Structure 1
Amino acid sequence: MDDLKALSTLALVVETGSFRRAAVELGVAPQATSKTVRQLEAQLGVRLLHRTTRRLNLTDEGERLLAQVRPALSTIRDAMAQSRVSRAELGGMLRITAPRSLGQHLVLPLIASFVEQHPEVQVELELEDRISDTVADKIDVGFRTGGGMDRNVVARRLLDIQHWICASPQYLERHGRPRQWADLARHRCTGFRHVNTGKLMPWEYGENGETTYRDVPASFTTNDVDAEVHAVVAGLGIGQLPSYIAAPLIREGRLVQVLARHTSERIGLYLYYPQRAHLATRARRFIDFAVAQLRPPR
């Protein structure tokens, strides 16, 4: 038997003066409230209520029991009521996680726009290239590229992330523009070394809607996406960069896209959050905001 439920039922029966009225508040049959109190009496081995056809009275044992548990029951009710209010309110802490580069270039501007509309929300942003444990790390919302999500989270694909082959205007002026993939062998290229495995990542080769992978010799390698971008902008070589970083640099004239016909769209940007029946209002509002801002119109 659920002791807390039984004690709460007893207190409500006494407060309302009848099993029937208590049952109405609890949304159960009167027989159920009577049965719960009888089970509590049987468990304790004492009678708690004097029952007549017209009224109910606590026994001495019942009086002593309720006097002891009423403060605790009141505290529990207040805490539950406060939790319901907190869930309904927008204010509070919102914990977000994202990979470092993605967080700096896409998520931070998103957070800034959201907080401008909802200044009562506090945000804690964890930039971490590993996939966070949403439960252990108390994460409300996460962002990730690619798949491999935990089964205990809800994942929503927001948009495709392309990989663009780019070079600085200064590099192309000095070394010429590659016209076909084979030309890359005669150029200085950059490479990205995977943070977790330490392996040099192959470049994605897109053609006729298919994506394959090709090793490209690198004269400069790094395990940081932004460092690779800075290296390409500085003219160290040609690099294959995420479109969400390269696009504004191309608009500014700091990068030029080459071999555009070999662009791939294999990787997606995902938003994920814990599988919970009741998300905090601020988390739900931020999720809806992120989807509206990042998902392209159909």
Structure 2
Amino acid sequence: MTPNRSRGFDRHSLNELGMLSAVVESGSFVRAGEALGLTQSAVSRAIARLESRVGIRLFHRTARAIALTDEGRRFYESVAPHLAAIAEATNEAGDASTRVRGRLRVNVDEGIAQFVLTPRLAPFLEQHPELSVELAIRDRMGDLVGEGFDVAIRFGIPEPSALKSRLLLRTRVITCASPAYLARHGQPRRPGDLEKHRCVLMRDPATGSHFGWEYIRDKKVVPVNVSGQLMVNGSGPLLAAVLGGQGIAQVLELYTRELVADGRLVQVLPEWAEETYPLHAYHHATRFMSAKVRAFLDFVVALTREDSPGEAPRARRTRREGPEGLP
């Protein structure tokens, strides 16, 4: 498609970008038109004009559905934060101070939602009474823009993306069991001993089997062929099973620090716990950041600083899989 160079950016362009945002958020020309008070054909024509203006095809169209093209997704990732900033600036006109308000959608894994955010969100919400927060639990981050998320808090190494990422902390991978289990079955003294124990396993969604275990000390990496009768796919069930004496599990220190400190769980093989797991915050890569996103990121940074009082041992290896790979 050849761009029309004779037309620059004007108020019509802004209207067309607004329609683009409405189509992406609603998932169809019909619903976008209903939200904007326009007909489907009017929205379709506006999108066609925008495609001609920028010189790319924005959507794949079929009789039943539409979807952003790769070029369209990159374009929308670039303009969406600016549209949000324009909308917020319009809403905040005449207000001398920046107000944190509206709905904030946060993409998180189950463990972060259950053990880190929800128990400590109350002061943040009290500080911003005009803000509502939606924590959406996802196995993977997926398409932050297409699914309408403002922020993501995810474990793992960031993949190449137009999103901005910020390292929040690194937490150790540790191995734990309940005192009752260890009293019945004994304390493992070396990684290979785990092959004789009941282990609570984490399901790998890619294979349907469980994720493998390995142990790291100095430069030595020891894989262990663990087994067990119970396999789960979430941090909550995993910790509940370990607390109930079902077996030994690999868990994140971030989730278990208090449980180990008060004796409800016992860390085994502590000298082999040199592996770490990074936690990142993701948001749209732009200097135009809405007040609600900025306020939430400040809150999360302060919160995770509390969760990392000391420097964990430097890892020889860092896990790449997402939170579905570990609790």
Q: Who is 1:207 aligned against?
A: 217
Deviates more, 1:205-214 or 1:274-283: 205-214
Rounded Cα–Cα distance in structure 1 between residues aligned with 2:113 and 2:223: 26
Change over 3 Å in CA distance of 1:280–1:163 after alignment to 2: same
Counterpart selection for 2:125 from 109, 115, 119: 115
Alignment of 1:59-78 (within 5 A): none
Counterpart selection for 1:228 from 238, 256, 262: 238
Deviations along 1:120-163, one digit per CA (max 9) or x if unpaired, are 21111111112131211121111111114351111111111211
1:223 to partner: Cα distance: 1.8
- Counterpart of 1:82, as a letter, is T
Q: Count the aligned residue pairs.
A: 227
C-alpha contact (below 8 Å) 2:199/2:227 kept by paired residues? yes
Rounded Cα–Cα distance in structure 1 between residues aligned with 2:244 and 2:9: 69
Rounded Cα–Cα distance in structure 2 between residues aligned with 1:95 and 1:234: 34
Counterpart selection for 2:250 from 233, 240, 258: 240
TM-score (norm 1): 0.68
C-alpha contact (below 8 Å) 2:194/2:224 kept by paired residues? no
Q: Who is 1:273 aligned against?
A: 283
Change over 3 Å in CA distance of 1:220–1:205 after alignment to 2: same
Rounded Cα–Cα distance in structure 1 between residues aligned with 2:271 and 2:141: 32
Give ranges in structure 1 of 5+ residues lacking alignment: 7-77
C-alpha contact (below 8 Å) 2:216/2:222 kept by paired residues? yes
Give ranges in structure 2 of 5+ residues lacking alignment: 1-6, 13-85, 312-327
Rounded Cα–Cα distance in structure 1 between residues aligned with 2:87 and 2:129: 26
Computing the radius of gyration over CA atoms, which structure comes out larger, 1 or 2?
Answer: 1
Change over 3 Å in CA distance of 1:98–1:210 after alignment to 2: farther
Q: Who is 1:82 aligned against?
A: 90
1:196 to partner: Cα distance: 4.2
Secondary structure of the corresponding residue to residue 200 of structure 1: coil
Deviations along 1:42-74, one digit per CA (max 9) or x if unpaired, are xxxxxxxxxxxxxxxxxxxxxxxxxxxxxxxxx
User: What RMSD over aligned residues (CA atoms) do the two structures have, in Å?
Assistant: 2.7
C-alpha contact (below 8 Å) 1:110/1:290 kept by paired residues? no
Secondary structure of the corresponding residue to residue 237 of structure 2: helix
Rounded Cα–Cα distance in structure 2 between residues aligned with 1:183 and 1:79: 59
Rounded Cα–Cα distance in structure 2 between residues aligned with 1:279 and 1:105: 27
Change over 3 Å in CA distance of 1:157–1:199 after alignment to 2: farther
1:204 to partner: Cα distance: 3.1
TM-score (norm 2): 0.63
2:283 maps to 1:262:
no
Q: Percent identity?
A: 34
Q: Who is 1:168 aligned against?
A: 178
